Structure 1
Amino acid sequence: MTDKTTSSLDDISLLDPATQSEPYDAYARIQAEPGVYRMPETGFYVVTRYDDLRQVLTDPKTFSNNVDRASLQGEENSKVLHDYLDEHGWPHIQTLQRTDAPVHSRYRKLVDRVFTVGRVRDLSPHIEATANKLIDGFAERGECEFMAEYALLLPGVILAQQMGLDADEVGTFRKWGEAMLAPASRVMDADALCANADIELEAQHHLARLFEERRANPRDDLVSALVHAHGDTEDPLSMAELQSVMSQLIGGGFDTTTAALGHAMMQLVTEPELQDRLREDPSHIRRFVEEVIRFKTPTQALRRRTTRDVELSGTLIPAGSVVSVRYGAANRDEAKFGCPHQFDMERANVNQHLGFGAGAHFCVGAPLARAELAIGILTMLNRLDDIRLARPLDEPIHVPSFLTYSLRELPIAFTAKAAD
């Protein structure tokens, strides 16, 4: 085994907003040699090849999910954040995505009872009605800013309502979601971390009141389902556990779906013939959604920690190292996907992307995300013709983030169809 140097990659920084906006050249260079890249800024080992990611994701004994969500901030600032949250609210404890078996099994079993296929099926008419209501707000204008007026609001309204918020409170919900993701998304100093934590604490105290209210008076919503997900022989989730699980569901169910909706629409305006194909045969929507997730993976990376020395692609990764699992890179690996930088919803292995992860930690919200994407895009196509970019986008076009991949804006123009 060797500890390869990366001198030929010295000009790469995955913390650079320009690289984060267009990371695929950097990914391809890392994949070509050595496959695993050690970030000089953080010491994280970045894994980029598809087969290596599969190994990491399906071997939690070696690649533990028990990683501090603020590990990007370094040990000292991470401790500042944890102490601040502990003093004023509830600390970041390890649940669901951040745990290994057998602990993970308990959380997953409880959450699986909430995110059932049947529940998503029952929610689908409401998703479509919400999509139509949003389109009603801009259809006659002939243009809209798609990210702010649709991609953000569609999953935001659905999830906010499931959390007991009114539909017009999505702005508050977005602020909370961004604060929850921020410690894993960008480097901040201690003061900025505490200021950001104040926003998360606002969400925590709202959720605490909501959890207690739903414990006493359950409704048909996500919060009630979580509070009452335990069986007769199981202990209910504690307040700290509920806070941790909910923060993960907010990040995974809101920001990433917004990102995927934006890239789906961007693909439709870049290749207008796709609009006609989906209108003529809506059954293609499933393959279209899967290829969008592969091509512009909304969650670019998550993290694991090695429990022992391990070798990947000839690179030695010492025990205790943080591993950045770059889903966005693996989904463009030419060893797995032919012509990986070409959008092709007819590719034979379109369903083999890692956009929702793999193994025991496969995304619990995948059915809901797929439904929101498919219904959201088809409803737009059913209501609007000749969807096109209203003006060129300013560079960099993506929101800077080490974690997610979302467009800053997407101004589109269109012709509203006549009502039936």
Structure 2
Amino acid sequence: MNALSPEKRNFFTDISICREPYQYFSDMLKIGPVVEMKSPDALMVTGYDECIEVLRNHKDFSSYNSSVGAGYPLPFTPEGDDISEQMEAHKSEMPHGDLLVNQDGMRHSELRSLMNPLFTPSRLKANEAFIKEYAAEVVKQAVEKGHGEMVNEISTPFVTMVVADLLGVPTEDRAKFRAVIDSAPRPGSMTENSNTEEFTGPLEYMARFFAEYIIDRRNTPKDDVLTKLATITYPDGNLPELKDLVTLAGTIFGAGQDTSAKLLSTSMRFLVENQELQSQLRSDPTLIPAFIEEVLRLEGPTKATFRLARRNTKIGDVEVPAGKRIVVALAAANRDPKRWENPHDFQMGRKRAQEHLSFSRGAHACAGAPLARAEIRMILEEFLAQTLRIEYSAEHHGLESERQVEYDASFFIRGLSSLHVNFIPA
């Protein structure tokens, strides 16, 4: 047991917390819903209501540091009651400052509007047709093989191809994109050589392709997704600069890769650990959406998001000075006992489970949430339809009495490093 009190432990560098965060979050919640961290100098928000308060308060809390985390030092020393001008003056010094997740206000709204053609009901319906067909193919191959590794062998390739279809990436380029994403460090990883600059590698690689796609479609429009993306305009009618569309496309392609893959493999872990639940869902697939919502609440793939106090403000009754970095602990809020009864227990059909914060809330709520829910639901339907039973591989994880699985050491992502399972075909 760690001798340090929870607020003195470093959420960003303590590998034991990165691998297994829930006891730490519980200990922080016992101190209060908003806790002053000692290392780094930041606030951690763990209460459900308090997290929503921060996520919806776009006036006082900025997403300036969202992609790098509250442990990353600011490129300036905050001065005064409002640091908005300092933030703007030093924005170019913050890594990934041009990404959508780090934008606020009108700039965020403008960039978000460019995503609209990708998430219209008709486009999502067309994408679901691809998902269903592709999921059946992926599962058929895995079941015929009799075994598989869920995280890297099945889940990641599956979600990569789904988002490639959504964006209209040509078939011949999809494998190239997947290879560069697979070789990159995981977001927030503590065990890989993962300095902040390395995460730009996949985005820069994909940017070259998307620039070519968009230029080609602007010159030679076609009836496809890339043409819609290339010719979309801002709400005021102006055509976006090429770099904005390229950055947005690369962000969409990369953003959901790890989280959706982790959600799928985590969902499978619940099924192999609870054969009764697995049988229940196999008998009644209409229960799968409710199952996914409880998995999201209990083991959502995103542990936290991050904010910066733009001006002197409050969270609940806690005074927050301008320049204070904030950890919005989504995974802690999803287990807040003030909001959830028996919060650490999996309860199939839990009332209002879909009100979890795994897809965040407010202006920065995940635009791809409907897609994530659909792709996980459809591939789970196929796994259950094509099998009589799915179980742990004892060869890789040991017998039930000594079973071992390992989670990634990341302050950002919650997900298994690997999950080997055996498939007994229907």
Q: 2:263 aligns with which of 257, 260, 268?
A: 260
Structure 1: gaps spanning 5 or more residues:
1-5, 78-85
Select 1:97's aligned residue among 96, 101, 105: 101
Secondary structure of the structure 2 residue equivalent to 1:46: strand
Cα contact 2:6–2:24 (8 A) shared by 1: no
Q: What is the TM-score when the length of structure 1 is the normalising length?
A: 0.85
Scaled by the length of structure 2, the TM-score of the pair is: 0.84
Provide the secondary structure at the position in 2 that maps to 1:60: coil
Matches within 5 A, 1:103-118: 103-118=107-122
**Could you say which residue in structure 2 is the equivalent of 1:21?**
19
Is 2:203–2:254's contact at 8 Å kept on the other side of the alignment?
A: no
> Within 2, Cα distance between the matches of 1:171 and 1:387?
31
CA displacement 1:47-102 (0-9 Å, x = unmatched):
1110001101111101122336335443469xxxxxxxx9xxxx834453322233
Partner in structure 2 of residue 69 of structure 1: 67
Amino acid aligned to 1:148: N
Do structure 1's residue 143 and structure 2's residue 147 form an aligned pair? yes
What is the total number of aligned residue pairs between the two structures? 399
CA distance in 1, matches of 2:211, 2:40: 34
2:330 counterpart residue number:
327
Q: Please name the residue that 2:274 is paired with.
A: 271
For the 8 Å contact 2:405–2:416, the answer to whether it is kept is: no
How far apart in 2 are the matches of 1:121 and 1:353? 25
Task: Supply the distance in 2 between the matched residues of 1:38 and 1:187 (Cα, whole angstroms).
Answer: 26
Q: Distance in 1 between matches of 2:199 and 2:98?
A: 20
Residue identity in the other structure for 2:73: G
Contact 1:160 1:170 in 2 (8 A): no
Change in Cα spacing, 1:374 to 1:344, as seen in structure 2 (3 Å) is same
Q: State the shift of 1:39 in Å.
A: 4.0
Q: Which whole-Å CA distance do the structure 2 matches of 1:12 and 1:257 have between them?
A: 27
Structure 2 partner of 1:154 = 158
Native 8 Å contact 1:177 1:250 kept in 2: no
Secondary structure of residue in 2 paired with 1:74:
coil
Matched residues in 2 for 1:16 and 1:8: separation?
11
2:240: which partner in 1?
A: 237
Q: Give the direction of change, closer, same or farther, for the CA distance of 1:8–1:379 in structure 2 (3 Å limit).
A: closer
Q: Distance in 1 between matches of 2:185 and 2:237?
A: 28
1:60 and 2:65 equivalent? Answer: no
Q: Is the Cα–Cα contact under 8 Å of residues 260 and 372 in structure 2 kept in the other structure?
A: yes
Mapped contact 2:405–2:419 kept (Cα < 8 A)? no
Q: 2:180 aligns with which of 169, 175, 178?
A: 175
The one-letter code matched in structure 1 to 2:421 is I
Give the RMSD, CA atoms, in angstroms.
3.0
**Which shifted more, 93-102 or 338-347?**
93-102
- Segments of structure 2 that go 5 or more residues without pairing to the other structure are 77-91
For 1:102, what is the secondary structure of its paired residue? helix
Tell me what 1:280 maps to: 283
- Change beyond 3 A, Cα 1:199–1:378: closer
Counterpart-to-counterpart distance in 1, 2:183 and 2:74 = 22
The offset of 1:195, in angstroms, is: 4.9
Q: Does residue 49 of structure 2 align to residue 51 of structure 1?
A: yes
What is aligned with 1:166?
171
Structure 1 residues 50 and 170, CA, compared in 2 at 3 Å: closer, same or farther?
A: farther
Superposed displacement of residue 232, structure 1: 8.8
Where does residue 34 of structure 1 map in the other structure?
A: 32
> Is the 1:252–1:365 contact (alpha carbons within 8 Å) kept by the matching residues of 2?
no
Which whole-Å CA distance do the structure 2 matches of 1:299 and 1:250 have between them?
A: 17
CA distance in 2, matches of 1:376, 1:59: 36
AA paired with 2:251?
Q
1:274 to 1:170, Cα distance in 2 relative to 1, 3 A: farther
| 8 A Cα contact 1:211 1:223, kept in partner | yes
Distance 1:222 1:261, change over 3 A: farther
Cα distance in structure 2, aligned partners of 1:18 and 1:41: 16
Matches within 5 A, 1:367-382: 367-382=370-385
In the TM superposition, 1:165-314 aligns within 5 A as 165-166=170-171, 169-170=174-175, 172-173=177-178, 175-176=180-181, 179=184, 182=187, 192-219=195-222, 222-230=225-233, 233-312=236-315, 314=317
